[in-house]
Structure 1
């Protein structure tokens, strides 16, 4: 959704790319003459992006920081620093998914890892081998919308008692045992995504990050977020709605006791989806939802 992002941040002179990845979005911003700060929790991604954008880094137009967008101060970003545009492209980057050793794929033989960076406490195998049944059931229900979450949790516990989970095959077999032999890629992708979200604390991290990112905007600055999971999109939608409301008091309160004015305005009434042409060239874009919000001047 590069063109849509470029249009939303067209007036920015300084941009914070919170999920640098391969540097594709940042490269487009830099080509437009913007100054860019890129953040990523994946050391490999950061190194690759720095190599790609080395000329801009040498010119002082680009800098790269290792860290989690949910803790920008920990990544080395000064608390007082603000930006005209901020981009958050959630989910797994293509280079992470395509690298079998990273363990994001359900392809045969892939390790159960799924850590986006070194800050994750457990990899996917450790999570599946240690989480209790109640928490696992809740995880599958909340992050995968799985109606048979309790049964699947029991199946995973039963199987790990016989042999610890180690590869994608172990989880795929457990899914098939519960959903049946006709289960396929969409089911695997949904369950694997749920485990990945838990491994990387993605939803909790996004919830913490949203107000902090808003505070990083200059007056009139734009926050653009691409999400790929209904839970992510719900958090973004609700935050933008609340920030755009003139009153956030409970309905029964007789007199307004909140700020009384909106903090800014939502720029996308509904989520923007990838075009058919983009989905055709990149099937992973089919679940992308873009929302944007602008801070009041």
Structure 2
């Protein structure tokens, strides 16, 4: 099993979607590119099952798929959609966080030819106002992807220390006025606790000005969501564990939507692909002395204009892939 290095010109687009491939629950991002990367896989671990869009395509190709998701509602929808495959034993679904696969019920020794991680929020989660991922008027400040999140967005904003909130906004939203916004949030919550999206939007407008709009709201809401769900720390913990679950020559493909996520993935793939990771001034190599595998994407693959026209949320998607060494070092 050895797929070739992937670039856009080497990806054959999917010209038609078989029945069930694209559902109303979740529109799979970069589907053709993912299929090209995992074309030789027989067993696949979909770490962020969502509504099952990517998994449906894998199953149609005859692959055996294990799907994991921390959202019980997403898991239920995917199981209903893929019930025939589950009954036949070709598909199984596990409730849990991809950063804690053993807790989800996956055996420690189980390995896969392909692993997919599609980070971020699914279309259905984002479109459901009750989930609180959106800045729609009156939406609750929730943002929890699953029941394993310790607190929701409202509790985070109402309890976090001002200095920590400023650091969060600077790190996750690249917000130059993070300190001012953190001060405004803590000042407002003293009068009335934050409860709905309107509360956070009003605080943003008070600091960024009346010309602030959807891009600013989206960026700051995303930062709060990342903190609520411990997304970057979870990804950092998960990367080496997922690498070790690949069969020799297996491929790990990751779609990210945030610069912090993409940076973690890029750096991990670079380190795993290096023959030596000893400190630069160390005279004698004491590390593994050989690369663990090969990065398949020299640059992140992004969605085509045609895909973005159909699914606007694909605009910020960045896909990177890495292949483990054939010898299984």
TM class by smaller structure: over 0.9
Matched, 1:127 2:156: yes
Kindly indicate whether residue 256 of structure 2 is the aligned counterpart of residue 227 of structure 1.
Answer: yes
Shift in Å at residue 35 of structure 1? 0.1
Aligned to 2:126: 97
Q: Which of 81, 84, 95 is the aligned partner of 1:66?
A: 95
* 1:52-63 paired onto structure 2 within 5 Å: 52-63=81-92
Give the aligned partner of residue 59 of structure 2: 30
Spell out the pairing of 1:121-270 with structure 2 (5 A cutoff): 121-270=150-299
1:279 to 308, 311, 320: 308
The answer for unaligned runs of 5 or more in structure 1 is: none
Is 2:146 the partner of 1:117? yes
Cα distance in 2 for residues equivalent to 1:93 and 1:203:
17
The whole-number CA distance in structure 1 between the counterparts of 2:169 and 2:112 is: 37
After superposing on structure 2, the runs of 4+ consecutive aligned residues of structure 1 that deviate more than 6 Å are none
**Which secondary structure does the structure 2 equivalent of 1:109 belong to?**
coil
Shift of 1:177: 0.3
1:92-111 Cα offsets, whole Å, 9 max, x none, are 01010000000000010100
Distance (whole Å) between structure 2 residues aligned to residue 35 and residue 145 of structure 1? 40
Report the CA distance between 1:213 and its aligned residue. 0.1
Structure 2 CA distance, aligned partners of 1:246 and 1:131? 43
Alignment partner of 2:248: what SS?
A: strand
Q: Distance in 2 between matches of 1:187 and 1:238?
A: 27
Normalising by structure 2, what TM-score? 0.90
